[in-house]
């Protein structure tokens, strides 16, 4: 099929934000929208089966294969940085956990320069984008393109874990995406009718049915073409040929927190000193491009289970075959859930106004690559701090779009990182040692009961922490006068015209929890700015903050 040769809009990237923007720009039928995506189809079973989530992020067919630089504070380890190279972007290879972030995150954004991105401003977009199945409230949406559901939570370990958190002094929450995030309760997931419900399913495919939105796959974007600071086209490689497509209106960059800054840098927008060294003409000196890189780190707190009730019973080849068949023909059974069916958010100490630790509970001891650490039944907490002050960067090494950029997270480099992570581990132990888990809890697989000192816990963190795969922040949104910002509050790239940027790279500070939901919200809000529409009216709903947060940790 031939594609538009001179569309109204070009959207670079078909991920969480890009698919959303393509849908909204094409909604009226009046605009021609062309989406450029380097990856291919998302229709393989490894992507669509929720329980198979460990496969696509480890497959070169679907993943860019980025690897970060060695980290001094992690004993020289290099952490992988999976990014979706497929229709739907990272929403097609992620863990499908749906977390909006905490209202306090957006209050912090607004207080620090991201005007009109406070919680009251973003909540209407969260509501517009979702259909929440079975757990409606005034905080939730029921008519949006994105289907959000919950798992069955029929393993007794889920109830026992939440009960243990109550015994430890925490309060359950019915909906961490609603009035109250703080506490423990059922997890939301982007799963519908037993299959992954990515941004491609929610937004891109419905948009493509309108015919005024087109998708070109296999398109590797090199740079944006400018005339007198005005973005007029995109240069990319397709089937071995270099092509340029010009636009009538605007270009929207939604290539994600790694690829958006690299495309800007190759286009001459970024730190002028870096660009000059690489022989790239400086169009606009914006030193913030590629800086401010953030992520969540987590460890797997693993415990042997005294009863044979965990998902370990399904890890043999025969059971996997049966699960695969049940899912293929019925879209049901263990394959129809990502198995992250219980989450928790707590504050690590008094005088912290909203949660800064996240827990994912999983009724099996297993790694993201699908390997179990030991023979036998176990369960685990994924636990980690939410707001590390460590910052890294993404920088191109040359003007060649096929050469991976330098990705340096500087994990655990801030003086508060290790003390905060130790708190997370000790608070995890406090919950796991409660009476409700006594019938199930055996010895710790890791860290191990003997690891209790600061030095021992620090060494465990250095050797075992993993990325939660939430990179963001590399094209920060904020006030035009702020030299560290890249994007104005209406999502326009500073210093040029007809170029917008909307994805997780604009986050000034990382949000609580998983980033897919905030990335889709960003696409929803940005699309109104691009179309010149008035933003949705601010919400007057007041979310929960612990009334005694200044004096109490629980």
Determine if the peptide bond prior to 447 is cis (ω within 30°): yes
The string of DSSP codes covering 150-206 is: E----SHHHHHHHHHHHHTTPPB-S-TTTT--SEEEEPEESEETTEE--HIIIIIHH
Cβ(71)–Cβ(465) below 8 Å:
no
- How far apart (Å, rounded) are the C-alpha atoms in residues 40 and 289? 28
Q: Is the pLDDT of residue 65 over 60?
A: yes
d(Cα 527, Cα 46) in Å, to the nearest integer?
A: 31
237-280 pLDDT, tens digit each: 999 999 999 999 999 999 999 999 999 999 999 999 999 999 99
CA distance 56 to 93: 5
29-60 pLDDT per residue, tens: 999 999 999 999 999 899 999 999 989 999 99
pLDDT tens digits, one per residue of 532-542? 999 999 999 99
Rounded to an integer, the average pLDDT of 198-220 is 97
What is the Rg, in whole angstroms, of the alpha carbon atoms belonging to the chain? 23
Helices (H), 202-333: 205-208, 256-266, 272-277, 317-330
How confident is residue 373, by pLDDT bands cut at 50, 70 and 90?
low
User: What average pLDDT does the segment 443-470 reach?
Assistant: 97
Helix ranges (H only) for 392-500 are 417-432, 454-464
Counted residue by residue, the chain has a size of: 554
Residue 369: per-residue pLDDT: 65
pLDDT single digits (tens) 426-450: 999 999 999 999 999 999 999 999 9
pLDDT of residue 134: 84
Mutual orientation of helices 103-111 and 119-129 as an angle, nearest 10°?
Answer: 130
Give the torsion sign (CA, 53, 56, 59, 65).
Answer: negative
Task: Look at residue 288 and tell me whether its pLDDT is greater than 60.
Answer: yes
How far, in Å, CA of 507 to CA of 250, rounded?
22
Distance, CA of 427 to chain centre: 25
The predicted model scores a pTM of 0.98
Among the listed residues 158, 382, 470, 546, the single catalytic one is: 470
457 three-class SS = helix
DSSP alpha helix (H) spans, 186-337: 199, 205-208, 256-266, 272-277, 317-330
Tally of helices (H runs) and strands (E runs) in the chain: 13, 27
Q: Is residue 326 scored above 60 in pLDDT?
A: yes
Question: What domains are defined for the chain?
Answer: 9-530 (3.50.50.60)
Strand (E) or helix (H) holding 111: helix 103-111
Of 472, 502, 471, the residue nearest 487 (C-alpha): 502
What would the mean pLDDT of 100-122 be, rounded to a whole number? 98
> Alpha-carbon distance 244 to 242, whole Å?
7
Note the pLDDT of residue 3: 87
Task: Give the closest residue to 221 by CA, choosing from 2, 482, 11, 457.
Answer: 11
User: Is residue 1 predicted with pLDDT exceeding 60?
Assistant: no
Tell me the per-residue pLDDT of 164-193, one tens digit each, with 9 for 90 and over. 999 999 999 999 999 999 999 999 999 999
- Scored b (16 or more CB within 10 A) or e, 272-283 reads bebbeeeebeeb
Instruction: Give me the percent of the chain exceeding a pLDDT of 90.
Output: 96
- Indicate the range of 78-87, 310-319, 380-389, 464-473 predicted with least confidence: 310-319
Mean per-residue pLDDT for 375-385? 93
Distances (CA, A) of 164 to 185, 402, 443, 501: 12, 50, 17, 44
For residue 484, pLDDT over 90 is answered with yes
> pLDDT tens for residues 145-172?
999 999 999 999 999 999 999 999 999 9
Identify the three-state secondary structure at position 500.
strand
Angle at 36 between CA 196 and CA 193, to 5 degrees: 10
pLDDT attached to residue 366: 85
Task: Give, in degrees to the nearest 5, the angle at Cα 307 between 302 and 309.
Answer: 85
Of 349, 460, 393, 398, give the one whose Cα is nearest residue 68: 393
Name the average pLDDT for the chain.
Answer: 96
**pLDDT score at 464:** 96
Q: What per-residue confidence (pLDDT) applies to 174?
A: 97
> Is pLDDT of 375 > 90?
no
Please check the confidence at residue 517 and state whether its pLDDT lies above 90.
yes
**For residue 206, what pLDDT is reported?**
98
Q: What is the mean pLDDT of residues 417-421?
A: 98
Which pLDDT tens digit goes with each residue over 421-431? 999 999 999 99
Lookup: tokens for 53: 């989530």
Could you confirm whether 470 is annotated as catalytic?
A: yes
Task: Give the per-residue pLDDT at 203.
Answer: 98
The phi, psi pair for 467, rounded to 5°, reads -70, 140
Q: Give the rounded distance of the alpha carbon of 257 from its chain centre.
A: 10
Element (H, E) at 146: strand 146-150
Q: For residues 479, 521, 340 and 143, what is the CA-based torsion angle, rounded to 10 degrees?
A: 160
Predicted pLDDT at 368: 66
By DSSP bridging, strand 284-285 and strand 269-270 are parallel
Average pLDDT over residues 474-482: 97
506 φ/ψ angles, rounded to the nearest 5 degrees? -85, -10
- The pairing of strands 66-67 and 33-37 is unpaired
DSSP track, 36-63: EESSB---SHHHHSGGGTTTGGG-TTTB
Strand 146-150 and strand 130-132: the pairing is parallel
Nearest-angstrom CA–CA distance, 511 and 471: 11
């Amino acid at each position: 099929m031939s594609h538009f040769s001179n569309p109204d809009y070009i959207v670079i990237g078909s991920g969480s934000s890009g698919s959303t923007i393509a849908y909204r720009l094409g909604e009226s039928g009046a605009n021609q929208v062309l989406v450029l995506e380097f990856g291919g189809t998302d229709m393989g079973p490894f992507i669509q089966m929720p329980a198979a989530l460990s496969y696509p992020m480890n497959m070169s067919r679907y993943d860019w294969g980025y690897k970060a630089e060695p980290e001094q504070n992690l004993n020289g380890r290099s952490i992988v940085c999976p990014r979706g190279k497929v229709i739907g972007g990272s929403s097609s290879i992620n863990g499908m956990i749906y977390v909006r972030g905490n209202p306090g995150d957006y209050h912090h954004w607004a207080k620090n320069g991201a005007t009109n991105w406070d919680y009251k401003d973003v909540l209407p977009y969260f509501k517009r984008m979702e259909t929440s199945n079975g757990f409606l409230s005034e905080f939730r949406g029921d008519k949006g393109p994105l289907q959000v559901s919950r798992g069955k939570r029929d393993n007794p370990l889920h109830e026992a874990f939440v009960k243990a958190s109550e015994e430890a002094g925490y309060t359950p929450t019915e909906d961490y995406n609603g009035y109250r995030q703080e506490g423990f309760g059922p997890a939301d997931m982007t799963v519908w009718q037993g299959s992954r419900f990515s941004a491609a399913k929610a937004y891109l495919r419905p948009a493509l049915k309108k015919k005024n939105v087109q998708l070109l796959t296999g398109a590797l974007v090199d740079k944006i073409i400018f005339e007198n600071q005005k973005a007029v086209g995109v240069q990319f490689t397709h089937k071995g040929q270099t092509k340029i497509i010009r636009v009538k209106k605007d270009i929207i960059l939604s290539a994600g927190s790694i690829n958006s800054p690299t495309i800007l840098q190759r286009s001459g927008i970024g730190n002028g000193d870096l660009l000059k060294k690489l022989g790239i003409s400086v169009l606009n000196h914006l030193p913030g491009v590629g800086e401010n890189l953030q992520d969540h780190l987590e460890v797997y707190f693993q415990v042997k289970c005294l009863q044979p009730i965990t998902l370990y019973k399904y890890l043999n080849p025969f059971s996997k075959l049966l699960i695969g068949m049940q899912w293929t023909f019925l879209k049901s059974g263990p394959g129809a859930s990502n198995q992250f069916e219980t989450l928790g958010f707590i504050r690590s100490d008094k005088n912290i106004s909203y949660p800064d630790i996240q827990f994912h509970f999983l009724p099996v001891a297993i790694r993201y690559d699908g390997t179990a650490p030991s023979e036998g039944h176990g369960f685990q907490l994924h636990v980690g701090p939410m707001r590390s002050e460590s910052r890294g960067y993404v920088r191109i090494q040359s003007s060649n779009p096929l050469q991976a950029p330098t990705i340096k997270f500087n994990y655990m480099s801030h003086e508060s990182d290790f003390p905060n992570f130790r708190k997370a581990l000790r608070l995890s132990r406090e919950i796991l040692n409660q009476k409700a888990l006594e019938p199930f809890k055996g010895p710790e697989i890791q860290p191990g009961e003997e690891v209790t000192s600061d030095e021992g816990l620090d060494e465990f963190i250095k050797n075992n922490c993993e990325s939660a795969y939430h990179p963001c922040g590399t094209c920060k949104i904020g006030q035009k006068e702020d030299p560290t910002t890249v994007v104005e509050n209406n999502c326009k790239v500073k210093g040029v015209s007809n170029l917008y940027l909307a994805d997780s790279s604009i986050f000034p500070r990382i949000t609580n929890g998983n980033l897919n939901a905030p990335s889709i919200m960003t696409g929803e809000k940005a699309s109104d700015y691009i179309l010149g529409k008035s933003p949705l009216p601010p919400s007057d709903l007041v979310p929960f903050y612990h009334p005694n947060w200044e004096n109490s940790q629980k």
